[in-house]
Amino acid sequence: MRRSIIFPLVLFLLTLALAGEARAQWQDGSLAVKTNGNNFQSGDRLRVEIFAVGDINESFYTQVSYKFSETVRVKDEDGKESDKEEERVRTRPAGPALEGLGQFKSLVLDDTFNFGEGSPAGRYVVEVGVFRAYSNERVTTIRSCVFLQNSDRAGDECPTFLRGVKQNYAEYLVNFDGAFSQRGRYTATLFAGGKLVKHIEAGVFASSAKELTITSDKLGGTPGKTFDILVHDRQQNYSSTLARVTIPSAQ
């Protein structure tokens, strides 16, 4: 009789433990949005990938949306015309189910969003919904900001945005200009030719609301070389990719 009670209890506890582990991987910001840059011009194409900061050990699928504002001309009741900002959303079909994704693996989700002559200038929010394959439950949403026809202040309204690299004043240290959360939990990944070169977990932090600092001995050998740099805030699930940036030497 005791055995018949213990076995279901053990199975129940094991199920709870596995469910907790599955939830934790989504809550820990294990997926990031990687793009082919964050500053685009008319005629450019946006490429969206997911990048696994940590192992994803659960079947899931994704759906990509693009949110942006467009200025439209409207008339009031008296016939007076004025400009109004309206949000536009372009949603792609959901992708196929994936059995999981190993750490540091990436997958292209969409490369069909083109910036044409009629595309409104300004901010575009790339939003990737992540769903459990077996229940269709949305488990997390990851985002990134990109801009068409960037300006010096572009990115200020984004939780995380890499605008550019600053001059180095110390070895193994580099600062970036942009918009950042001082409560953020950041990682930085450097790519060259589409391949991962460095992944930095420790020593990536917002030194102010407009500056991100990376200080790590993993920066050794990078000055003078050009990379795509992905910064991901695991706290807010927001990412930014700065394309083709050259790491400056210490002065």
Q: Is 201 a residue whose pLDDT tops 90?
A: yes
Residue in 17, 78, 80, 28 with CA at minimum distance from that of residue 53:
28
The secondary structure of 70-133 as a DSSP string is EEEEEE-TT--EEEEEEEEEEEPPP---BS-B-TT-EEEEEEEEE--TTSPSEEEEEEEEEEET
Please count the residues of the chain. Answer: 251
Q: Regarding beta strands 60-75 and 45-52, do their DSSP bridges make them parallel or antiparallel, or are they unpaired?
A: unpaired
User: Which pLDDT belongs to residue 15?
Assistant: 44
Q: How many CB atoms lie within 10 A of CB 251?
A: 7
CA-to-CA dists, residue 75 to 47, 98, 154, angstroms: 37, 48, 30
pLDDT tens for each residue of 235-245:
999 999 999 99
More confident residue, 251 or 222: 222
At which residue do the structure tokens 């997390």 appear?
140
Q: Is 77 a residue whose pLDDT tops 90?
A: no
> Can you read off the two tokens belonging to residue 180?
């950042």
Average pLDDT, the chain: 87
User: Which pLDDT belongs to residue 23?
Assistant: 56
pLDDT tens for each residue of 12-61:
444 444 445 555 657 689 999 999 999 999 999 999 999 999 999 999 99
CATH fold, domain 30-246, is: Immunoglobulin-like (2.60.40)
The DSSP letter of residue 218 is G
Q: How far apart are CA 148 and CA 123, in angstroms?
A: 7
Torsional sign, CA 169, 173, 178, 179: negative
User: Which pLDDT belongs to residue 16?
Assistant: 41
Q: Is 80 a residue whose pLDDT tops 80?
A: no
